[in-house]
Amino acid sequence: MVVWKGGGILVAFVIAAFGLLVGFGSGYLADATGNDFFQTNNWIVGVTLILSGICCFFLGKLINTRKHVDEETGETIITKYDNSFLFIKIEYWGFILPVLGIIAFFVNMNWI
């Protein structure tokens, strides 16, 4: 079963990319503070999800709607595409991921 349509797989790639960026960036702090830095600081997951959500919103708006100008008539044609991940459009992940990120700030993530 395919869980994405069109460019929907980009949601997973965006989350992974921001996870790596925030992980490497906070890795410098982990060296300075101790070994269990990632287990005791929930903000890493929160920041990753919030940044990923912002990026997914604008990415979804960019790739789901295209404007073309017909050369013969000069008319603007708007073409809408369906790019989704887990059956949810990419730009909607821009609302879901930040909410999950805010929840991650307050939830104990030691079970991961």
Nearest to 41 by CA among 22, 56, 54, 55: 22
Alpha-carbon gap, residue 105 to 103, rounded angstroms: 5
Residue ranges in the chain assigned as alpha helix (H): 10-33, 37-40, 43-64, 90-106
Sequence-distant (≥ 6) Cβ neighbours of residue 45 within 8 angstroms: 101, 104, 109
Task: Identify the pLDDT of residue 80.
Answer: 82
* pTM for the predicted model, two decimal places: 0.80
Q: Are 10 and 44 in contact (CB under 8 A)?
A: no
Nearest to 18 by CA among 93, 103, 88, 89: 93
Please list the pLDDT of the chain residue by residue as tens digits (112 residues).
578 888 889 999 999 999 888 888 777 766 666 666 666 677 888 889 999 999 999 999 989 888 888 788 888 888 888 889 998 999 999 999 999 999 988 876 555 5
- Indicate the Cα dihedral angle 56, 58, 61, 66, nearest 10°: -120
Task: Identify the pLDDT of residue 99.
Answer: 94
Q: Where are the domains of the chain?
A: 4-106
